[in-house]
Amino acid sequence: MELNIFNLKCGYKIRKKTFIIPSYTLNISVKSSQLIALIGNNGIGKTTFLKTIAGLQKPIDGEIEYNKIILNNLTGSEVSKYVSYLPAVNHKVPYIKVVDFVKFGLYKQKNKKEKEENIKHILEELNIIHKSYDYVHQLSDGEYQLVNIARIFIRDNPVVLLDEVCSHLDKENRELIYKFLLKKASEDKIIIFSSHFYDETFPYVHKIIIFENNKYQFVLPEELYLTTDHLICNNLLRKMNFTKIPIIGDGIPYLCTCSAIAKYNFNFDSGFKIIILQNNKKVLWVIKKDNKFVERFDSLETLINYLKNKNL
């Protein structure tokens, strides 16, 4: 399954004026089982982009395709069968218990009874099970955000869009959410979330979309730091356990390569090795099997794509 965005222009038409937000055309393809962070300054167009994919507003131009279905040709209700969207602001509903509020996520869903059985499990994963029978309006803002995340994921849609998903959450719960989202993405989902905590998302996301003033990037987060002795790499990546990954190398390129590969459940054969070669700021990756040359790559992304296509 794949989400393809072709020549997309997002924005608004007010009377006879058209406002393009962000101010450029977007072409992005995201395959299933990927967690994507959307990064950018306030007002750059992150929310507009997510709402356009979710079918809550029409694109100015271009197409949004999921599994060969053109989503922007569908009604908002039809899009919601494929795409779940959590807005940044969610007002508390009074006098409804948490478990019943989460059930709202199953409105007009098939297999409703079967999915209701997953509510307890999701609340446990989000460490909010102890609030199951509390009233929603009695929750703190952080607890309410966790409950909203549970409500979105109980729908079990293949595409999930989350706007400022970590708002109101402390650092411990933000880390809980990153791990939860990475796990959910591995279940054949495409998850895109906007965030201002880029440094924290780095070890968990497969790729990032960066909205800048006049351009955008869609890259592996590790590729931004391959040739830089960056504090993020030193503080975050060195804490991670990469001993099971057959990579030979050192320094930041080694840590970044391990980080990118660790997000996928690759099963490497015995005798399989990835060797990192460095010459000044140039980095190359060589794959060997039983000490015989197999392939060489000049970017980390082409290496990852090769490994995914091999279905390791």
The domain of 159 spans 2-219
**pTM as predicted:** 0.91
Q: How many CB atoms lie within 10 A of CB 4?
A: 18
- pLDDT top residue among 42 and 271: 42
Looking at the structure, tell me whether residues 204 and 240 fall in a common domain. Answer: no
Half-sphere exposure of 217 (CA within 13 A, CB side): 11
Kindly state the average pLDDT of the residues 149-172.
Answer: 93
Distance CA 58, CA 188 (A): 26
What's the pLDDT at 118? 85
The 3 state secondary structure assigned to 20-39 is: ECCCCCEEEEEECCEEEEEE
pLDDT digits (tens, 9 = 90+) for 244-291: 778 999 888 888 888 888 888 788 877 889 999 988 778 999 999 998
Looking at the structure, tell me whether residues 17 and 54 fall in a common domain. Answer: yes
Burial of 129 per CB tally in 10 Å (0-12, 13-18, 19+): middle
Which segment of 52-61, 203-212, 258-267 scores lowest on mean pLDDT?
258-267
What's the pLDDT at 113? 66
| Average pLDDT, rounded, for the chain | 88
Percentage of residues in the chain having pLDDT higher than 70: 91
AA identity, residue 40: G
Q: Tokens for 196?
A: 């201002």
Place 194 in a pLDDT band, splitting at 50, 70 and 90.
very high
Looking at the structure, tell me whether residues 211 and 293 fall in a common domain. Answer: no
Which of 219, 235, 256 is a domain's end point? 219
Looking at the structure, tell me whether residues 157 and 242 fall in a common domain. Answer: no
CATH classification of the domain holding 31: 3.40.50.300
Q: How many CB atoms lie within 10 A of CB 56?
A: 17
Q: Is the predicted pLDDT of residue 145 greater than 60, yes or no? A: yes
Distance CA 153, CA 160 (A): 8
Which of 176, 202, 219 is a domain's end point? 219
**Domain count for the chain:** 2
Q: Is the predicted pLDDT of residue 117 greater than 70, yes or no? A: yes
Which of 219, 247, 264 is a domain's end point? 219
- pLDDT top residue among 229 and 82: 82
What's the pLDDT at 281? 76
Residues in the chain: 312
